[in-house]
Amino acid sequence: MNYRISIIQMDIAFGSPDVNFQVARAKMNEAIGNDCDIIVLPELWTTGYDLTNLSTIADKDALKTISFLQEVAIKNQIHVIGGSVANKTANGIYNTLIVVDKTGKVVHTYDKLHLFQLMDEHLYLDSGKSEGIFTLDGNSFASMICYDIRFPEWIRTHTTKGAEAIFVVAEWPKPRLDHWRSLLIARAIENQCYIIACNRVGKDPNNVFAGHSMIIDPWGDIVAEAGESEEILTASVDLGKVKEVRKMIPIFADRKPEFYK
């Protein structure tokens, strides 16, 4: 199956959800003009890394975000990988990725598993406890958030269960841009899957962000890559290529997990 995917590489107003909703709406409307099937937003796009104020600015149970994504999805009959948002629940605040299908159904949520201590996430956010597998149109996908890509065993957990493309949403800093590119390409090659990665641009009081959102095919070839400014990156993926590559080099059949302990 073919999908035309638009990645929203946007700047994020620090600690200003109302501003960010307005910007996201405008950019999603622009992306829809590209005749895409799936739109992808970045990590923590409603608040940025204003972690110290999450108790007041986080979206309670992600209700405002879900309503917004559903409105866009239904109106335009488009699937939305809704980035991730600070989600305030009765059990804590999570960095939650939300997927809404073109009918407006919330088909998947994923709370970031690996919290990045270098940016103090562990001090303000709670770690998730669920996996990232979900389906759209009968096809198997997975979702990851930023730091997750440094854990190849977590990615492989999902591709061994059938995921043919992995959506990555991020706020990846510019000083580690080379890591971003190298890790994403490696994850595509070793899992023989598409990697569809949406990063933010711009800066906040403590960080400058890298951009370079990417779509990478199962061979590890870059289908499309953005620069370091705001951009809507659009390209097509053919999930049939995943099956072709996995048949040509059958790494999943040749695995010996009994030795991987």
Closest to 165 (Cα-Cα) out of 76, 69, 74, 243: 243
Instruction: Choose the catalytic residue: 27, 112, 121, 164.
Output: 112
Check 36, 146, 193, 198 and give the catalytic one.
Answer: 146
Distances from the Cα of 30 to the Cα of 8, 26, 123, 154, 248, angstroms = 10, 6, 36, 34, 39
| 88, containing H or E segment | strand 79-89
User: For the sheet containing 133-136, what is the strand order?
Assistant: 133-136, 139-145, 165-170, 194-199, 214-216, 222-225
Tell me the longest C-alpha to C-alpha distance in the chain. 52
| Residue 112 annotated in active site | yes
146 catalytic per annotation: yes
Contact 117, 83 (CB under 8 A): no
User: How many CA atoms are closer than 13 Å to the CA of 130, on its beta-carbon side?
Assistant: 13
Residue from 27, 36, 43, 193 carrying the catalytic annotation: 43
Q: Give catalytic residues, as residue numbers.
A: 43, 112, 146
